[in-house]
Amino acid sequence: MGDKVAQRVDVVDILRGVALLGIIIVHFMHWHVAGPIPENIYTARYNAIDLHIKWWCDTLLSDKFILLFSLLFGLSFSLLISSLEYRDMPIPKIFSWRLLLLFFIGLIHQMFWMGDILFIYAILGFFMLFMKKRSDNMLFLAAIFLICNIPGIALQFGEHSWQTNALTFNTPGAKIKSNIFYDLMQHGTLLDFIRYNLHAIPGKIKFHIVSGRLFTISGFFLLGLWSGRTHIVSRLKYSPPAKQYRYLATGLIACIICYCIHNSLASIWPLVLIKMLADAIKNALIAILYAALVILFFQRNRFHNWGNGLAAVGKMALTNYLLQTVAGLILFYPFGLHLFLVTSSVQNLFLALGVFALQVIFSYYWMKYFLYGPVEWLWRTATYGKRQKIRRATYSKPKHIPISDAGEQQMIILP
């Protein structure tokens, strides 16, 4: 492979596309609201169909696709290391600067939407720099420790009472905050939201710690790094079908067991600690099962072309993630069409699918003429301090590139 020639692992791009599809569905189901809203507002708005859709969304989608996105972030870091090593470039210096740039992109995004995850990713990304030289076994054990939310459970144990959990909405302070944000969603201007979102950053970080999301996301970062090192995608692809089905069946059974444990126990001390563990394992297994199903589905030759649109979305995942926020603000917020609490869950589902379909079309045709998405290009240019090539030399139709038979180790992703 020449110095200037590189290929993406196409299945990684498809997985990013799938993750973005799940993310926009979850966000649109809640009118793209990331702040606290009084629970009675939601319950008063939902009819029987909405409640069923919300249950399916909460059970099968919520949190799962952010975890999948986190897994892919760690896997991309592994591929980035391979690329930098291939070109004999300083890994800590370039990756640290790249993370710092991502932090500022996320901070700008946070100004407009409270649900930004990019600056959290940027902060946690430095943890991967610390872990990159650790052995595969240590990476895997650390990933499992964090994915199971052991630090979060330990924090709860230190609180001695579930009632002191900062996530509960029964405290007077939490009710006041939810009422303030609800009023903002009714009458707020863009400037009001910018002020609120910036002031909310400390509380948001606290939420990620108390809820355990900070730890589970870190665990999936490490799991992605471990996956890239051990070429687990290729190993899954080339394992016998019987073994593949056995893996999937085992994961599904484990998910059901964890779900039953979580829902059968009362939220009282100390049973709540077991509930937290079961919930963390369930969410992690569902995210991993989604990844495995996508990999196994698109490995089949007759389905290869089906992934072209998803791969195009995944190649410019950062651009599309930000565009989803633009769409959500325009559709649901008071300085846009203000469909907040106007549309039903079914309508929000179709809105999400419609916006994502537009992203597929936009991304597919953009990638015909350009090498990177617009935000990816800006990020890359700032990373290396000089204008990067973005236009393709000649027009070429995007092609589906299956995983190389030699495995992921032959695929190098350019940062």
pLDDT digits (tens, 9 = 90+) for 207-251: 899 888 999 999 999 999 999 888 887 777 778 888 888 888 999
pLDDT, average across residues 355-365: 96
* Candidate from 105-119, 343-357, 384-398 with smallest mean pLDDT: 384-398
The predicted pLDDT at position 33 comes to 93
Per-residue confidence band for 167, with pLDDT thresholds at 50, 70 and 90: very low
Q: Is the pLDDT of residue 144 over 90?
A: yes
Higher pLDDT, 272 or 126: 126
Of the two residues 412 and 182, the one the predictor is more confident about is 182
Predicted local distance difference test score (pLDDT) of residue 7: 38
Query: ∠ CA(129), CA(217), CA(23), 5° rounding?
Result: 125
Q: What is the pLDDT of residue 270?
A: 76
**Tens-digit pLDDT profile for residues 11-47:** 889 999 999 999 999 999 989 998 888 877 777 777 8
Q: Which long-range contacts (CB under 8 A, 24 or more apart) does 91-98 make?
A: 91/132, 92/129, 94/383, 94/415, 95/125, 95/129, 96/126, 96/129, 97/383, 98/379, 98/383, 98/415
Q: Which of 45-54, 87-96, 131-140, 262-271 has the highest mean pLDDT?
A: 131-140
The closest alpha carbon to 67, from 284, 295, 231, belongs to 284
The least confident of 84-93, 251-260, 317-326 is 84-93
Q: What are the tens digits of pLDDT across the range 364-379?
A: 999 999 999 999 999 9
For the segment 298-304, the average pLDDT, to the nearest whole number, is 69
pLDDT at 395: 53
> Which tokens hold the place of 13?
């791009």
Residue 92 has pLDDT above 90, yes or no: no
Burial of 220 (0-12, 13-18, 19+ CB in 10 A): buried
pLDDT at 410: 32
What is the reported pLDDT for 68?
94
pLDDT of the residue at 289: 94
Give the burial string for 181-211 (b: 16+ CB within 10 Å, else e). bbebbeebeeeebeebbeebeeebeeebebb
Predicted pLDDT at 169: 45
Do 145 and 131 meet the contact criterion of CB atoms below 8 Å apart?
A: no
